[in-house]
Structure 1
Amino acid sequence: MLKSYHPEFLTATILNWKHLLNDEFKQVLINTMRWLVTQKRCRIYGFVIMPNHIHLLWKIEDGFDRANVQGAFLSFSAHEFKKKLGKLQLQEYKVDLVDRAFQFWQRDCVVKECWSETFLEQKLEYIHNNPLQPHWNLADLPEKYFWSSASFYENGDSSFDFVTHYKE
């Protein structure tokens, strides 16, 4: 049976809310999103990468299973994190689980289907304004925060060539 999904708002958080996502690890997430889009597994409509979590607006392509695409995103990025971390820092993510020795992402990402364009636009605005929140204070305007799709929507910036406008 062919699966078909609505656009979705996804939040994935680093284990214990640790601030793992420096620029090097943010680039890993960018590369992972680009790969998923190139492989035609999903379309990315918007994103923001924060120090300890990522918000995505995406649509799983028809015929693919959400669990597999989401799992590929989390698994691939986790393997890359593991390669890049030094032994001391890697120990912060050591777990005693049957299926893994290290865990970077918290279990159970938050996924909300966007049943209407209004809801999708609300989530896109939330994503783009996340870096401006007082407890983050990472930028003074959404489009000035590099690790986000805000400049794509505001200025037509194509730094992230894998992003598709949600109206396309």
Structure 2
Amino acid sequence: MRLRLSPGDASAIRSRIKIIPILQNLTGWCNLTCMAIHTAVHHSGIYFITFTCYRWLRLFEMANAYSEVYNFFGILNRQGHQVLGYVIMPNHVHMLLYFCTTGQPLNTVIGNGKRFIGYEIIRRLKAKGADAVLHLLKEGVSPVESKKGKLHQLWQDTFDVKVCRTEKFILQKLNYLHANPSRGRWKLCNEPYEYEHSSAAFYEIGKRDNIWLKDYRDFLALVQD
């Protein structure tokens, strides 16, 4: 049965998340529930994905390119994948994605998205006359990549992918990404659902603005044994 939160019940899912034991530090548990991916991923499933701007520069903020990440989410949806949770920080993105096998591996799908977003970031930085930032991004290109025609280094060399096999792990990752804007050095909001570029309001107060954002609970049966 699909679970639904009543609109305005901002504490419901947070309470549920907080009572989950912190199991990932127990011996062997992480191997059963998550796996860092270093090779091409072809299998359908729910994945927790992170990609980060080069040298942790606040490129999304500098270029006001948050909309391009949303455009990428829409592309993912049209390709048959489903975004189940996300946060777009000034310099990195966390997302929970149901990846549907469509012929291209997950690594390629995300790589194409990063190129799509990166092209627009460069265009916007040029339009703003952000020459110092553009120069720094040019300096980040390795000699090998420069010979191949690469002009700017937009991203950290790799992105992190973990497969999610249990609801506990999914909820831990949702809690982690939703809390990101309100904690540590960021302090971009007081409550997670107040941050504009996040799925926290979708889960916590029932905000349904983005047609491409889906409830993770609708996909559990597809990934659980």
Return the TM-score normalized by structure 1: 0.91
Task: Tell me the percent identity.
Answer: 32
In structure 2, what is the Cα distance between the partners aligned to 1:39 and 1:61? 9
What is residue 157 of structure 1 aligned with on the other side? 207
SS of structure 2 residue aligned to 1:58: strand
Q: Hey, which bits of structure 1, 4+ residues long, moved more than 6 A?
A: none
Which amino acid counterpart does residue 215 of structure 2 have in structure 1?
Answer: H
What is residue 109 of structure 1 aligned with on the other side? 159
Gapped regions of structure 2 (runs ≥ 5): 1-41, 219-225
SS of structure 2 residue aligned to 1:167: helix
Shift of 1:4: 2.4
27, 49, 60: which one pairs with 1:21? 60
Shift of 1:146: 0.4
Query: Is contact 2:59–2:121 with CA below 8 Å preserved after alignment?
Result: no
In structure 2, what is the Cα distance between the partners aligned to 1:68 and 1:33? 15
What pairs with 1:36-115 in structure 2 (closer than 5 Å)?
36-40=76-80, 42-63=81-102, 64-86=104-126, 88=131, 89-94=133-138, 95-96=141-142, 97=145, 98-99=147-148, 100-115=150-165
Count of matched residue pairs = 165
Query: Is contact 1:44–1:164 with CA below 8 Å preserved after alignment?
Result: yes
Return the TM-score normalized by structure 2: 0.69
In structure 1, what is the Cα distance between the partners aligned to 2:44 and 2:157? 22
RMSD: 1.5
What is residue 49 of structure 2 aligned with on the other side? 10
Gapped regions of structure 1 (runs ≥ 5): none
Query: Is contact 2:45–2:100 with CA below 8 Å preserved after alignment?
Result: no
Which amino acid counterpart does residue 178 of structure 2 have in structure 1?
Answer: H
